[in-house]
Amino acid sequence: MTDHTLAATPQTVHWGRFWSDLPPVMHVAPGDRVTIETFSGRQEVLPAEGSGMTVAPAHRDILAADIKGQAHLLTGPVAIGGAMPGDVLKVEIARIELGADWGFNAVRPASGTLPGEFPVSQSTVTLIPIDREARTGKLPWGATLPLAPFFGVMGVAPPREWGELTSIQPRLHGGNMDLKLLTEGTTLYLPIHTEGALFSCGDGHGCQGDGEVCITALETSLTGTFRFDLLKGAGERIDLPRAETPTELISMGFHASLDTALQIALRQMIAMIRERVEISETEAYQLCSLAADFAITQSVNQEKGVHGRLRKALLQTG
């Protein structure tokens, strides 16, 4: 195992896209760990000088480079040696560090779960100071938020025939999943669609409620350490992103309809159960009804998200 560091610079970031022809900025081997730096926020959301909040010089350098694109600022892609279509990328999220002493939350007039219902003619941006040592954020009206940082966007390149995709919607390659359970200590599984897999990440969140209803979380800069491994040929059974913690299985479903997203997440959980215990589909369906929890991941990215959670201890028999 080799440890690598990937700093966020104008040469290693891109705005808001996943694409099979995007050149990798780093090559690593299966089993390697990579510490990846990310930044969040364009010029208009940066704190002013004298605010007591600090903007990293590298963040300003990236914005000054005027890199074309939209949506999320992503670092990568990282190519994993030997990764081929039909394999699955196993991403162990070893560590997530807060990368700034500030973050922001924004409301946009025509976006979010209640578009058009709030009296704003332009985006409302609220800056939120972050205490990195205490892992808390302070809201303007005095409330203290406990932070549980995670990356809103983690993904690989989509199938070549799909062309270039925006980072806004989550799909089978991952992307803007906005799943707050993908914190330090969680393992993410992503089906691979192109040689090298081409992993990128960004959209750091200090915290988020399920639903992410106003369209943003506590957007902030994060640095993550990931260990990459390959499950050769596992794409035959793992055809959508999934995750697990030491104690839980996590399924995901994405669709414009929340009903359909729930059905996808449920089918995925049934499959995950049957991979681990020899019971029928009907029995796995019953177990989901008895013990699995399904929640709205986010309702604001056009492709909405639903995730399921099931305690691994319930799969032990005897």
Claim to verify: residue 271 and residue 204 sit in the same structural domain: no
**Helix orientation angle between 258-276 and 281-291, rounded to the nearest 10 degrees:** 120
Local structure of residue 208 (DSSP, 8 states): -
pLDDT at res. 123:
82
CA 25 to chain centre: 20
Task: Report the Cα–Cα distance between both ends of the chain, in Å, rounded.
Answer: 37
List the beta bridge partners of residue 13. Answer: 75
Last residue of a domain, one of 236, 264, 285: 236
Claim to verify: residue 52 and residue 110 sit in the same structural domain: yes
**H or E stretch including 271?**
helix 258-276
The verdict on residue 51 lying in a domain is yes
Claim to verify: residue 258 and residue 151 sit in the same structural domain: no
Claim to verify: residue 148 and residue 284 sit in the same structural domain: no
Phi/psi at 60 (5° precision): -65, -40
Claim to verify: residue 159 and residue 65 sit in the same structural domain: yes
Claim to verify: residue 30 and residue 172 sit in the same structural domain: yes
Contact status, residue 253 vs residue 243, Cβ threshold 8 Å:
no
The boundaries of the domain holding residue 272 are 247-315
Last residue of a domain, one of 236, 258, 283: 236
173-196 pLDDT per residue, tens: 999 999 999 999 999 999 999 999
Contacts of residue 3, Cβ cutoff 8 Å, sequence gap at least 6: 32, 33, 34, 35
List the beta bridge partners of residue 107. Answer: 124
pLDDT at res. 8:
98
Distance CA 58, CA 72 (A): 16
Per-residue model confidence as pLDDT tens for the chain (318 residues) = 899 999 999 999 999 999 999 999 999 999 999 999 999 999 999 999 889 999 999 999 999 999 999 899 999 999 999 999 999 999 999 999 999 999 999 998 888 999 988 876 678 999 999 999 999 999 999 999 999 999 999 999 999 999 999 999 999 999 999 999 999 999 999 999 999 999 999 999 999 999 999 999 999 999 999 999 999 999 999 999 999 999 999 999 999 999 999 999 999 999 999 999 999 999 999 999 999 999 999 999 999 999 999 999 999 876
pLDDT at res. 313:
97
The verdict on residue 20 lying in a domain is yes
HEC profile for 27-96?
EECCCCEEEEECCCCCHHHCCCCCCCCCCCHHHHHHHHCCCCECCCEEEEEEEECCCCCCCEEEEEEEEE
pLDDT at res. 294:
98
40-66 pLDDT per residue, tens: 999 999 999 889 999 999 999 999 999
Nearest Cα to 76, choosing from 142, 154, 141?
Answer: 154
Local structure of residue 312 (DSSP, 8 states): G
Claim to verify: residue 104 and residue 9 sit in the same structural domain: yes
Contact status, residue 249 vs residue 292, Cβ threshold 8 Å:
no
Burial degree of 120 (CB within 10 A; 0-12, 13-18, 19+): exposed
pLDDT at res. 318:
67
Claim to verify: residue 171 and residue 289 sit in the same structural domain: no
SS3 for 238? coil
Contact status, residue 298 vs residue 305, Cβ threshold 8 Å:
yes
CA quadruple 253, 280, 89, 86: dihedral sign: negative
Distance CA 277, CA 280 (A): 9
